[in-house]
Chains A and B, each alone.
Chain A
Amino acid sequence: MAKDRKDFADFNQPDTLIGKEVVAEGTLNSEGDIQINGQFEGKVEAAGDVIVGEHAKVKADIKANNVYVSGEVEGNIQATERLEILETGRVNGNVTSQAMSIEPGGILKGSSTMQETAETAPAAQPTYEVEEEKE
């Protein structure tokens, strides 16, 4: 489910959270959502959403369902559904998503590839003709 800004920094959610004063390096995997408010370098993979907080500095490739950026990201982002770059967000890398929005003030330096959704993709048509049986 898409998240609003009010959902940011919600400590009651039992997923992965990297605080403001924390410096982390390595691979971050999660079955749920990941929120990064500090510094991170490495690789991020989440089955849920990834939220990059306003003060966050992330040097990593991110792979998740929805990605919300209001801090700095240096790396490629692959969002299965939606990528949102908020007004304080800055992305330096190539992004792939089904839907994308950049708020005024938000920066994307890199290429953007839009993936087709299952609904918009043309359904496969048979290329052969069936001859009607003559009586």
Chain B
Amino acid sequence: MYLLLVNPKAGNKLYRRIERRFIGSLNRHKIKHKIVMIDDLANTADLLKDNVKDNIKAVAAMGGNGTVTAVIDALADYDLPLAIIPTTKTNHLARLLGVANWQAGVRSLAHHHTHTKRLGKIGQRYFMGELTIAPKRNLIKNIFGQKSRLKRFFGVNRPITHKNQHSVACQLKLDSELEVNGQLARLDIRLVDEGKKKMRIQLHTLTETGTEASVLWANKLEVTSSLNMPIVSGNETLANTPATIQAVTKTIEVIQPTPRVKKKRG
């Protein structure tokens, strides 16, 4: 049986609008389930504690980035796989796993195809996948800088030049053995699932001609900066600098849609 933790407020209260279709879809796929509503994300750990019984084979988080992060946080102490059913268009982790919408989420539950993913930790919070650290103005510009048909219609689809980039003096300490200083425009941190245990840290620094990337690897990263910067997973701010980010040895089983195999002709 699946334990479905649903955030009814996520995605502009989408769940209330799709509830009948969603349950119908679960029944059609013969997915045994128990639905529990999350009234407050801070109570997720308690909800999990009260509802995880022996017959629960996996937990599904239904909502946006905040819901998924809260469930990952709470689920780290259990040995249960996690499924994601997005009810927002900006569910970053669902997108990473290839779950485009709630229908695809239900299909992934039906197939129950699991993958192991690494977990990272910022302070007391767990995360999965990628993190971005950048000055707020760069993050906003990245969102509004994306090409859109509407912007093309008005002729304002201009690429961001390095003059528009903002940088912050930043100091990184990697595994307490390497200290790195630079004018940071953006910092991408990726947890590597396969083999290598260290996090891949891509540091974009500002130069006269644009930005230049540096690539470093570490298990533990301490970030300090002259200005506080948000640490973002998808569009969810998990923390602010100064912060310590760690790749923990813990992994989590994630339910992913089965990859479609193209049939060869002839």
A residues within 8 Å of B by Cβ? 11, 14-28, 30-31, 37-38, 42
**Interface size bracket, B side:** 20 to 34
- With A17-B213, A21-B183, A22-B205 known, 14 other A-B pairs at CB within 8 A are A14-B215, A16-B215, A19-B213, A20-B205, A21-B205, A22-B180, A23-B180, A23-B181, A24-B178, A24-B179, A24-B181, A25-B178, A26-B177, A26-B178
| Overall SS of chain B's interface | strand
The 3 closest A-B pairs by CB, nearest first: A26-B178, A19-B214, A19-B212
A-B contact pairs, 21 of them (CB 8 A): A14-B200, A15-B215, A16-B216, A17-B213, A17-B215, A17-B216, A19-B207, A19-B212, A20-B207, A21-B205, A21-B206, A22-B181, A22-B205, A23-B180, A23-B181, A24-B180, A25-B179, A26-B177, A26-B178, A28-B178, A38-B214
Residues from chain B with Cβ under 8 Å of A42 in the complex: 178
Residue of B nearest to A21 (CB): B205
Residues from chain A with Cβ under 8 Å of B215 in the complex: 11, 14-17
Residues from chain B with Cβ under 8 Å of A20 in the complex: 205, 207, 212
Q: From residue 198 to 226 of chain B, which have CB atoms closer than 8 A to chain A?
A: 200, 203, 205-207, 212-217
Complex-state Cα separation, A24 to B181, whole angstroms: 6
Residue of A nearest to B216 (CB): A16
Most buried by A among B196, B206, B217: B217
Residues from chain B with Cβ under 8 Å of A26 in the complex: 174, 177-179
- In the assembled complex, the CB of A34 is this many whole angstroms from the nearest CB of chain B, namely 10
Contact A23 B182 (CB under 8 A): yes
Most buried by B among A26, A28, A30: A26
Complex-state Cα separation, A16 to B178, whole angstroms: 13
- In the assembled complex, the CB of A55 is this many whole angstroms from the nearest CB of chain B, namely 10
Residues from chain B with Cβ under 8 Å of A17 in the complex: 213-216
Residues from chain B with Cβ under 8 Å of A30 in the complex: 217
Residue of A nearest to B181 (CB): A23
Residues from chain A with Cβ under 8 Å of B177 in the complex: 26-27
Contact A21 B217 (CB under 8 A): no
- In the assembled complex, the CB of A92 is this many whole angstroms from the nearest CB of chain B, namely 23
Q: A27-B177, A27-B178 are in contact. Are A19 and B203 (CB under 8 A)?
A: yes
Complex-state Cα separation, A24 to B196, whole angstroms: 23
Complex-state Cα separation, A26 to B175, whole angstroms: 10
Residues from chain B with Cβ under 8 Å of A11 in the complex: 213, 215
Complex-state Cα separation, A18 to B178, whole angstroms: 12
Q: Which of B174, B196, B207 contacts A21 (CB 8 A)?
A: B207
Residues from chain A with Cβ under 8 Å of B212 in the complex: 19-21, 37
Residue of B nearest to A35 (CB): B215
Q: Which of A14, A15, A22, A27 contacts B203 (CB 8 A)?
A: A22
Complex-state Cα separation, A16 to B203, whole angstroms: 11
Most buried by B among A21, A28, A31: A21
Residues from chain A with Cβ under 8 Å of B182 in the complex: 19, 21-23, 38
Contact A19 B178 (CB under 8 A): no
Complex-state Cα separation, A30 to B177, whole angstroms: 13
Residues from chain B with Cβ under 8 Å of A14 in the complex: 200, 215
Instruction: Produce 1/0 per residue, B4-26, CB < 8 A to A.
Output: 00000000000000000000000
Residue of B nearest to A42 (CB): B178
Complex-state Cα separation, A28 to B198, whole angstroms: 14
Residues from chain B with Cβ under 8 Å of A18 in the complex: 180, 214, 216
Q: From residue 158 to 186 of chain B, which have CB atoms closer than 8 A to chain A?
A: 174, 177-183
Residue of A nearest to B172 (CB): A24
Most buried by A among B181, B206, B214: B214
Complex-state Cα separation, A37 to B196, whole angstroms: 25
